[in-house]
Amino acid sequence: MGASDQETVNDRLARAAAALAEAEGVAGARAGGAWGSGSGERPDWAPPPDDPQAVVPEADADAVAKAIVLRQLSMAPRSRAQLEKKLRQRGCDDEIAARVLDRMTEVGLVDDEAYAQMLVRSRQSGKGLARRALAHELRKQGIDQAVADEALGQVGAGDERVKAEQLVAKKLRTMRGLAPDVQARRLAGMLARKGYPGELAWRVVRDAIDGLPEHQRD
């Protein structure tokens, strides 16, 4: 994720968290200090860690869930599915998790569309992933197919070609002295792992290798 994306996410997180606290009267000291601030102190309303039968009041359970979600979002952008998984791992009731995530979606803290757009931009520009690999990444994060398709619309065939050429040119600089067939296999394999279609990969690789000075004839 680029620096500008991170700044945007952080700004939105701060504004949305403030709006959520103001709208619902969330006790910041209680929710933030409890399992959210990293202070290591357990509030008096929280059950002892060795008491699995202890019951947390529903209002407090909501505050704990909110603290967990806010902490996760402060570390990195997350999809709703990722947050649901984290809450489940922490023993949060499914109904409470759904209620908390619904409310945070309303105020813009949880936004799968924005998350998917950011993920596609960062993975395509940073790692050079093609649409097929990007689609796999979005599925892994639990993004709905319709939302994923819209985000993938940012990447056109021309974009894939340009990025593939950049990747090959960069890698080729480290492969001087290798036989052309070895270069071709390794470069095509690299593009395949990043999700590029075979026909496009081989065309880009062939053009790049043919364009090397040592392979050109007088």
For residue 47, give the DSSP letter. P
Tell me the per-residue pLDDT of 164-206, one tens digit each, with 9 for 90 and over: 999 999 999 999 889 999 999 999 999 999 999 999 999 999 9
Say yes or no: 86 and 118 in one domain.
Answer: no
Say yes or no: 165 and 146 in one domain.
Answer: no
By residue range, what is the domain housing residue 122?
113-152
Say yes or no: 9 and 91 in one domain.
Answer: yes
Say yes or no: 13 and 63 in one domain.
Answer: yes
What is the C-alpha separation between 61 and 35, in angstroms, rounded? 12
- Looking up tokens 């952080």, which residue turns up? 10
The last residue of one of the domains, among 133, 152, 171, is 152
Tell me the per-residue pLDDT of 28-81, one tens digit each, with 9 for 90 and over: 444 344 333 344 444 443 444 444 444 455 568 899 999 999 999 999 999 999
**Structural domain count, the chain:** 3
Joined tokens for residue 162 = 């340009």
Say yes or no: 11 and 59 in one domain.
Answer: yes
Question: Mapping DSSP to helix (H, G, I), strand (E, B) and coil, where does residue 49 land?
Answer: coil
Task: Check if the beta carbon of residue 84 is closer than 8 Å to that of residue 72.
Answer: no
Say yes or no: 105 and 119 in one domain.
Answer: no
- Cα dihedral: 166, 168, 173, 177 (round 10): -160
What is the C-alpha separation between 185 and 202, in angstroms, rounded? 9
State if pTM tops 0.85.
no
Say yes or no: 8 and 104 in one domain.
Answer: yes
Say yes or no: 13 and 51 in one domain.
Answer: yes
